[in-house]
Structure 1
Amino acid sequence: MSTPEPRDELEGSEQPFVAHLIELRDRLIRALIAVGIAFAVLAVWPGPSGLYDLLAAPLVAHLKPGTTLIATNVISPILVPLKMTLMAAFMVALPAVLYQVWAFVAPGLYSHEKKLVLPLVVSSTLLFFSGVAFCYFIVIPGMSQFIQNFAPSSISAAPDIEQYFSFVITLFLVFGLAFEVPVAVVVLVRIGVVSVEQLRKFRSYFIVGAFILSAVVTPPDVISQLALAIPMCLLYEVGIWAAQLFLKHTRAPEADHPPAA
């Protein structure tokens, strides 16, 4: 006697296309409201100028006495701190933004898929913030000290605030994305592109690639290159361990209990 096929848990949950568009609009509006609230709060305290002073602190601490950052554009003293405030507001509101993304896609996911997506959303957020914090507290101070010590004593470096802002934001993105290596490894293993055993075999190639990538995307100083390559290699190992864990706990029910003939 054959057993009846299990009922699809998503059956009957379909919505019209217009309803999806309306929900997407509402989710986007809520995400923008979260960013707007964060921007308003940061604009009051510590304020755009205070935020930029905080961003510039790792560099200013290693400038020669009496040297400060300069503005070569007329509106840079106003525009750049506002850009900094907007970026900080987005980062502060990022958990709320990701929650809206999760709430939009969750109804279309199976229960075992939800077990995978939610931890990945949380872990990717924490890893990105960790990469930014690592860049701010470790990389930028070390790089600034290296550059100042390497520069001739007859030169007094006074970086432009707009160029420094662009430079730091680029570094934040590079290190934030580099710290997402475990998430990328887990996703690739979970969708079947590679296996855990293949990742172990590719370990030496990844290490070489990490050092090449760090030499390309970071400034030409040893500190920032090593500060990017070494964490990427360590996070690769974390990704292999996490992939094994996720495979065990996010398997579809039919994978553990195949239907009877």
Structure 2
Amino acid sequence: MPLTVHIEEMVLRLAAVLAVAGLVTAIAFPFAQEPITYIWYSLLPETVERAGETISTQPRVYGPLELKLMELKLASLAGLIAALPMGVYQTYRFMRPGLYPHERRYYLAAVPTSLVLAFIGIAFAFFVVLPAIFTYFLYYSENAAEIAFALQQTFNLIIILKAFMAMVFQIPLLIMLAIMMGVTTRRWLENRRLYFWAGFMGIAFIFSPDPTGMAPLLVAATMVVLFEGTLALLRWTGN
């Protein structure tokens, strides 16, 4: 098959993915303010007591377009998430003619599992990591500074941590695939676990946007637990 035909097919499949993302973004944009309010007050109380005063934690906007840009960012994120299954399907259809049967099985097993793990990671960030971080943020500077969370910076932190946790939760799948494909063994990983722990700490502190150190510590601890939990499961199943 000529290269131009492959390129044309790739462009058409990419266009289908972008069309889904664009459609969902356009539908979600007029309603984006409601999820912003929901997410904000799910992670922060409406008021907090500081030095005998009741202080509101409502988001601060420091630019004329900040709120609208945040709504667009959230709607675009919804479009991207909605387009993921279409992207997976179109990628598989494009690659399928060139894949061996065992490679197709790996793809069909790994990709849906990866998506499920990503959503579990996002949920873990929303219900465990972010509440702990924001509780710490509310009180670590008590009596030293007044609380004023900016909308854009706060939501950037939320989005980055959710995306990062979605990637962190791929650790079990990556370990399983590496062992299934013969790239490594459980014993090799166990013998070098301290190197992996150190690597997890370094990655967490580099990519977690929190100078207080609270977020990197939580992320690194999660990575270690996922790593050790996967090895324990492999040991229990005899692999």
Return the structure number with greater relative CO, CA threshold 8 A, min gap 6. 1
2:62 alignment partner, one of 72, 86, 98: 72
Q: Tell me the distance in 1 between the aligned counterparts of 2:104 and 2:233.
A: 16
1:109-162: per-residue Cα shift (whole Å, max 9, x none)?
111111111111111111111111111111111111111122223633112111
Take 2:73 and 2:202, find their aligned partners in 1: how far apart are those partners? 31
TM-score, length of structure 1 as denominator length: 0.77
- Do residues 36 (structure 1) and 46 (structure 2) align? no
Determine the C-alpha separation between the residues in 1 that align with 2:178 and 2:46.
Answer: 42
Which deviates more, 155-164 or 106-115? 155-164
Partner of 2:51: none
Question: Partner letter of residue 57 of structure 1?
Answer: Y
- SS of the equivalent of 2:57 reads coil
Letter in 2 for 1:125: L
Aligned mates of 1:136, 1:86 — CA distance in 2: 19
State the Cα distance separating 1:101 from its structure 2 match: 1.3
Aligned to 2:130: 140
Deviation at 1:186, TM superposition (A): 3.3
Unaligned runs of 5+ in 1: 1-14, 249-261
Q: Which residue of 2 aligns with 1:125?
A: 115
1:63–1:157 CA contact under 8 A, matched in 2: no
CA distance in structure 1 between the partners assigned to 2:229 and 2:99 by the alignment: 26
Gaps of 5+ in 2: 49-54
Q: Contact conserved, 2:22 with 2:79, CA < 8 A, in 1?
A: yes
Root-mean-square deviation (CA, aligned residues, Å) is: 2.6
**Are 1:189 and 2:179 an aligned pair?**
yes
Matched pairs, number: 229
Distance in 2 of aligned mates of 1:225 and 1:167: 12
Q: Distance in 2 between matches of 1:241 and 1:59?
A: 33
- State the identity as a percent: 25
Instruction: Work out which of the two has the higher radius of gyration on C-alpha atoms and give 1 or 2.
Output: 1
In the alignment, residue 103 of structure 1 is paired with which amino acid?
Answer: R
Aligned-partner SS, 1:85? helix
2:33 pairs with 1:49: yes
Classify the secondary structure of the residue corresponding to 1:207. helix
